[in-house]
Amino acid sequence: MLSVAARATYRVRRLTKPKPISPVASRLSDIGSGAGPVDTLAWPPVVTKRPLGHLCRMTIRTRFAPSPTGLLHIGGARTALFNFLYARHTGGAFLLRVEDTDRERSTDEATRVILEGLDWLGLDRDEQTVFQSTRAARHAEVAHALLAAGKAYYCYCTAEELRQMREQAVEEKRSPRYDGRWRDRDPAEAPAGAPPSIRLKAPQTGETVVEDLVQGTVRVANAEMDDMIILRSDGTPTYLHAVVVDDHDMGITHVIRGDDHLTNTFRQVQIFQAMGWDLPRFAHIPLIHGADGAKLSKRHGAVSVLEFREQGFLPEAVCNYLLRLGWSHGDLEVVDRETAVKLFDIGDVNRGASRMDYKKLENLNGIYIRQADDERLTAFVLERLAHRPELSLGSIAAGRIRTLMPQLKERAKTLIELADAAAFLAHPLPLNMQPKAEALLTAEARLLLRDVSVALAASDFTIAGIDAALRGFAETGGLKLGQVAQPLRAALTGSNVSPGIDATLAALGREESLARIEIASR
């Protein structure tokens, strides 16, 4: 555990950010599977698999490594997105490792939610998912290899001894850490039958330095770190040790994760070095805060990826918004997937924490809704309306929604708003009138509806024909078009808000429109 002084040290001693690593080969012997040349004619880049011997360039390999102990948080989703985009940008591979070594807190349901969230965001993985819990034997093997090489040692401290160390450190106002009492002690002195843990024999002088692609050069004095446990006395690996072994065995070249992991990195670097393994490049991205600058939580709004889905956000809008939380390219705000893959570079990520702005996300979502395919939006709307028993859904209602979708989507910022706006098209007669719509249906307005229905019945019920009929009716009666459209809108939709009245009439069709007008005019 780092002391307050050490944490202050690495915060202060950050230098200029280094440029991202060139993809020239530097650790091919550590990569478990190879990839050949990139087909530059295809986009996104297509990587052709080849044996390792054919490689002359390093294949970038990134990973997202969540713990299945809860929901896929929006911060985790951004980390996954950055890993995905960097892999795609460089023609590399994006992998998923589920870090489920905490068997008490890890659940199958949380794993399912993580996979579902990544699939919804379109973050496809290039290899099978690795479950960390299945690799415990390998983690132990490496711990014993370090032991055999003199880079680790058995520690026979009891829980009571460790508790006393912590209490003494607190009393002396020091950072609690192991005092190294078994580092050079003869194991023959161990109590009989006492199960040992294995601790890394960490360097006690000098510094551990991380050249971070986002944070710059970060360093901590080795004297501030103790000898960490890598294998517990019950034979299970610690998280920090398992992560290093897995990253090495998976051939991970770039570890991109939240900057809350930065303190872990110093210890993990020491394990890499003790094993003589090449280090991956590290990139620690800043956390996401709420609009008030506090850590993002439920009180700010949705924090889980699938919550955003339920609230009517499109995955491409969420990805675009997450991309812009910490990364920018000039004044570019709307960034589709293809453009993001082309432009994204991890070295361009900002150091400062980002603030979640839900209004900005809504506005961006509205842009993506307006750009979305009408058939796709119709399917989304029908799916959401299916849970409303008062509606009559079927091919007729679906056809009306599909017809009016170009107009419906112009005002919607979420799929919930879109579904609500389309619901009247599937409502059986009589409609439930909203108070504002009821107020429009005065006695005078009801008389007007009877007259305008005659003009409409004589039209061909195309949008152009309906528009001509309504304008002619208004002109003949000395009325403004709005004076005709407003009571019509109330009669047709039960609301005072809808798309253009001509498009609404055309979507409902002649028979349904005239029936609704007749009922409202009574």
Q: Are residues 124 and 256 in the same domain?
A: yes
| Neighbour tally for 417: CB within 10 Å | 18
Q: Are residues 147 and 222 in the same domain?
A: yes
Residue 360 to residues 288, 303, 308, 314, 326, Cα–Cα distance (Å): 15, 15, 14, 14, 15
pLDDT (tens digit per residue) in 155-165 = 999 888 888 88
The sheet with strand 281-285 has its strands ordered as: 130-131, 93-98, 61-64, 254-258, 281-285, 207-212, 216-221
**CA within 13 Å, CB half, 212:** 31
Over 60: is that where the pLDDT of 14 sits?
A: no
For residue 507, give its domain range: 430-522
Calculated CA dihedral for residues 77, 26, 203, 161, nearest 10 degrees: 40
Q: Are residues 2 and 74 in the same domain?
A: yes
Q: Residue type at 460? A: D
**Domain edge (last residue) among 359, 393, 428:** 428
What pLDDT was estimated at residue 89?
Answer: 97
Nearest to 372 by CA among 432, 442, 304, 316: 316
pLDDT (tens digit per residue) in 68-97 = 988 899 999 999 999 999 999 999 999 999
DSSP state string for 269-303: HHHHHHHTPPPPEEEEEPPEE-TTSSBP-GGGS--
Q: Are residues 147 and 279 in the same domain?
A: no
In whole angstroms, give the CA distance from residue 347 to residue 212.
Answer: 9
In whole angstroms, give the CA distance from residue 314 to residue 416.
Answer: 11
Q: Are residues 179 and 33 in the same domain?
A: no
In whole angstroms, give the CA distance from residue 146 to residue 237.
Answer: 13
Token pair belonging to 464: 């152009």
Active site residue ranges: 298
In whole angstroms, give the CA distance from residue 519 to residue 513.
Answer: 10
Q: What is the mean pLDDT of residues 159-177?
A: 81
Q: Residue type at 316? A: E
What pLDDT was estimated at residue 30?
Answer: 33
Q: Are residues 242 and 121 in the same domain?
A: yes
What pLDDT was estimated at residue 291?
Answer: 82
Number of structural domains in the chain:
4
Over 50: is that where the pLDDT of 238 sits?
A: yes
pLDDT (tens digit per residue) in 273-313 = 999 999 999 999 999 998 888 877 767 766 789 999 999 99
Could you give the percent of the chain with pLDDT greater than 90?
76
Q: What is the mean pLDDT of residues 471-478?
A: 96
What pLDDT was estimated at residue 57?
Answer: 52
Q: Are residues 245 and 111 in the same domain?
A: yes
Over 70: is that where the pLDDT of 242 sits?
A: yes
Q: Are residues 1 and 120 in the same domain?
A: yes
**Domain edge (last residue) among 205, 236, 267:** 236
Q: Are residues 317 and 173 in the same domain?
A: no
In whole angstroms, give the CA distance from residue 470 to residue 461.
Answer: 11
Q: Are residues 293 and 355 in the same domain?
A: yes
Find the CATH number of the domain harbouring 438. Answer: 1.10.10.350
Q: Are residues 270 and 210 in the same domain?
A: no
Predicted TM-score of the model (pTM): 0.85
Tell me the average pLDDT of the chain: 88
pLDDT (tens digit per residue) in 187-225 = 888 888 889 999 999 999 999 999 999 999 999 999 999
What pLDDT was estimated at residue 33?
Answer: 32
pLDDT (tens digit per residue) in 377-398 = 999 999 999 999 999 999 999 9
In whole angstroms, give the CA distance from residue 189 to residue 1.
Answer: 27
Q: At how many degrees (to 10) do helices 501-508 and 510-520 cross?
A: 110
Q: Are residues 241 and 127 in the same domain?
A: yes
Q: What is the mean pLDDT of residues 409-438?
A: 97
**Domain edge (last residue) among 217, 236, 255:** 236
